[in-house]
Structure 1
Amino acid sequence: AALDAQEWERAVVATARRLLADNPFRGRQVISSLPIDTLKITSVRLAEAEAPQADKILRKEAAERFGLDPAKDTINYLHAGSVRQSDVVKDEYILFAADNETIGTHIRILEEAGLTPVGIDAPPCALFRSFERTMRRQEDRERTIIFIDVGHRFTTVVLGRSGEICFVKQIPVGVWQFTEEIASSLGISSADADSLRVRLQRDEPVDAATRRPVVDALNITAEQLAGEIALCLRYYTVTFRGKRVERAIVAGGGAYELVLRDALRRHLSVEVEIAEPLRGFDLSHAAIDAGREAEYADLALCVGLSLKGWNGAASSRVSPERLEPVLEGESL
């Protein structure tokens, strides 16, 4: 059964405390991200003549769209680039917003878990920082890549080029929907459905009579999600003309779904690969097997958060200003 808000908070606090007690973490300062479903994201275009008043206009636009109070709620933005709309050149911005109550609850949960929050990041920015870190060659940085993080209930799509984010989209489809489609198709529990899904991921034996309907169920969600992501790609190629997307990198728990990667190849017509967020790190003293970095694609968000404020991370333009004004001194 689904947990209510208070039960979920207690579960998060208990899990965090157990992980801290059982593992050799250094310090208790933490940079975290808001749950993706609590972060409000949208795109806005302004005429070049409006540039001097961009900050005021964008904050007002976000407040009106999301019912926020600019005086106490948090509204930030990124400049995505210049686009041509009809015969007029406009500046496209990506807005990130969250209400003060959501941020306050998030901080309280962290503090109850024994952590000291020093920064809050937007998930798309943390994901891009994680991916962009590995794009050190100039030829790689000049390519446009679509980054896809398939989480539990949401998929985050980020397109970036030359160290800057150009497009962000949240899609309410994730690993949970794959599991529920299997459960519905076979008339079994979610736990049993998830077990079957993971067994197929690991290429473990599953009898033919069960394998076929499971694969069919996975394909239904994979086609739906790949179709939504293809619409993101189409928007990007129309908006930023001349910037062809060359490949897709998939992270999150859903990165290991072969049917999804195959669907993405069909819909996007680009090379699709699994993210390796730990590539380039010295893992000699970590409990992680070197050479198996592709098995840790679900750590992309965590890696991106850990790099926030690090001098070797991507340009500060990758991430908006801190989401909570009272959280000062975000460098690690």
Structure 2
Amino acid sequence: MAKTRVIGLDIGTTQVRATEVELSAGRGGRGGQPTLLRAGEVPLPFGAVRDGEVSEPSTVGTAIKQLWSQQKFSHKNVVIGIGNQRVVVRELDLPAMPLPELKASLPFQVQDLLPVAVEDAILDYLPTGSRAGEHGPVVSGLLVAATKDTVRANIAAVRAAGLRPVSVDLSAFALARALPAVSDDVHTVALVDIGARVTTVVIVANGVPSLVRLLPTGGQDATDAVQQALNVPTVEAEALKRQIGFGYATAPEHDAAARALATATTSLVESIRNTFVYYAASHPGAAAQAVYLTGGASQLPGLGQYLSSASRLPVTLGQPLGSVALGRGAALDGRLAEEQHRLAVSVGLAMGAAA
């Protein structure tokens, strides 16, 4: 049985994370459960990544080098994730044709749908279904358009670290691979990955991403709100944020911080809930039935309960390690299971090679 080791690299606003997964392919290209071999993260200096986009490739490259030195990954080929406000993802129906031809036709099909010129964007398309249209068969799917500058900045950071980018994938699609949550009773789920500056919402129906929304806010915005309300250092504001949480009684001296945190959290939850409402309205009878939270900012005390109350859906913490076996080295890391919600994107990026 052939085995391939793939490394997924997730460049966030405050951390770079990477996961090495071993994939097995038997006869017919079908393999068994992937095995996680190594995983780790390294913090990024403030400003190295802004709004989910690399602004200082050399600084990010240095952090990636440090991560490779710490974790001893077996090679230097990586799959990179992208997902920020300069990535457009929208539902799009197109005339049915073989997928290579369909992708080749995208520049002519979508030039009037994008906020940037087609020549400045990298285009892709994920088919999600088909139906009979008025003028013949139609393919339904998701159009992905990323500005070339965004992709180039990530690639520059990876190359600055001495690594080789072998492919670029949408972080939202990685989430859908890392968190398979379809069961006999639950067919449609919402995956919500809350990062520092970007929150990714993916609606997955019968195992296929059906809607993607990239929201321009995250956990760091809540920290900023506390910091500005109290005029304290960011480190202190972050600690206060996690101490106070959302929806809990607070001491009088923390009232100002609690109000600021509540305003920021409410705004984020409303944006997430509105995405669920939009999907339910545009897909009658197929609304999300459950929510899975991941991301470094998903652990704010009370956030899950508030999102559940606002959306009237069960909300649980995503378990990306449930989709992989743990290698001996990974199993020895006691932190891994506790912090796996932070690894969902990098796990899914690595698993993309088996898709």
- TM-score class, shorter-chain normalisation, is 0.7 to 0.9
Letter in 2 for 1:24: K
Shift of 1:268: 0.8
What's the secondary structure of 1:243's corresponding residue? Answer: coil
Deviations 1:85-106 (A, max 9, x none): 9xxx986432111233433332
**Change in CA separation of 1:55 and 1:308 when aligned onto 2, cut-off 3 Å:** closer
Q: Select which of 335, 344, 347 maps to 1:303.
A: 347
What's the secondary structure of 1:309's corresponding residue? Answer: helix
Q: Which residue of 1 aligns with 2:13?
A: none
Q: Which residue of 2 aligns with 1:258?
A: 301
* Larger strand share, 1 or 2: 2
Percentage of matched positions with identical amino acids: 22
Query: Which stretch of structure 1 is more off in the superposition, 189-198 or 53-62?
Result: 53-62
What's the secondary structure of 2:320's corresponding residue? Answer: coil
Letter in 2 for 1:215: A
Q: Which residue of 2 aligns with 1:106?
A: 154
Unaligned runs of 5+ in 2: 1-45
Q: Is the 8 A contact 2:198 2:216 kept in 1?
A: yes
Q: Select which of 210, 232, 235 maps to 1:166.
A: 210
Q: Is the 8 A contact 1:181 1:218 kept in 2?
A: yes
User: Using the alignment, how far apart are the partners of 2:66 and 2:111 within structure 1?
Assistant: 39
Query: Which stretch of structure 1 is more off in the superposition, 11-20 or 98-107?
Result: 98-107
Q: Is the 8 A contact 1:121 1:305 kept in 2?
A: yes
Q: Is the 8 A contact 2:175 2:345 kept in 1?
A: yes
User: Using the alignment, how far apart are the partners of 1:92 and 1:118 within structure 2?
Assistant: 28
Q: Which residue of 1 aligns with 2:36?
A: none
Shift of 1:181: 1.1
- The alignment status of 1:44 with 2:92, answered yes or no, reads yes
Shift of 1:250: 0.5
What's the secondary structure of 1:254's corresponding residue? Answer: coil
**What is the TM-score with the length of structure 2 in the denominator?**
0.73
Q: Select which of 234, 258, 271 maps to 1:190.
A: 234
**What is the TM-score with the length of structure 1 in the denominator?**
0.78
Q: Select which of 264, 272, 290 maps to 1:229.
A: 272
Letter in 1 for 2:219: V
User: Using the alignment, how far apart are the partners of 1:284 and 1:75 within structure 2?
Assistant: 39
Q: Select which of 145, 148, 151 maps to 1:97.
A: 145
What's the secondary structure of 2:223's corresponding residue? Answer: helix
How many pairs are equivalent?
Answer: 295
User: Using the alignment, how far apart are the partners of 2:194 and 2:261 within structure 1?
Assistant: 14
Q: Is the 8 A contact 1:276 1:294 kept in 2?
A: no
Q: Is the 8 A contact 2:224 2:237 kept in 1?
A: yes
Shift of 1:262: 2.2
What's the secondary structure of 2:110's corresponding residue? Answer: helix
Q: Which residue of 1 aligns with 2:225?
A: 181
Shift of 1:209: 3.2
User: Using the alignment, how far apart are the partners of 1:178 and 1:153 within structure 2?
Assistant: 10
Shift of 1:19: 1.6
Q: Which residue of 2 aligns with 1:282?
A: 326
Shift of 1:79: 3.0
Q: How does 1:107-146 map to 2 (within 5 A)?
A: 107-132=155-180, 135=181, 138-139=183-184, 143-146=187-190
User: Using the alignment, how far apart are the partners of 1:158 and 1:40 within structure 2?
Assistant: 13
Letter in 1 for 2:236: D
- The alignment status of 1:245 with 2:293, answered yes or no, reads no
Unaligned runs of 5+ in 1: 311-315, 317-332
Shift of 1:23: 2.4
**Change in CA separation of 1:91 and 1:29 when aligned onto 2, cut-off 3 Å:** closer
Shift of 1:214: 3.0
Shift of 1:284: 4.1
**Change in CA separation of 1:293 and 1:84 when aligned onto 2, cut-off 3 Å:** farther
Shift of 1:108: 2.5
**Change in CA separation of 1:83 and 1:272 when aligned onto 2, cut-off 3 Å:** farther
Letter in 2 for 1:127: L
User: Using the alignment, how far apart are the partners of 1:91 and 1:233 within structure 2?
Assistant: 23
* Larger helix share, 1 or 2: 1
Shift of 1:9: 1.7
Q: Select which of 103, 106, 116 maps to 1:67.
A: 116
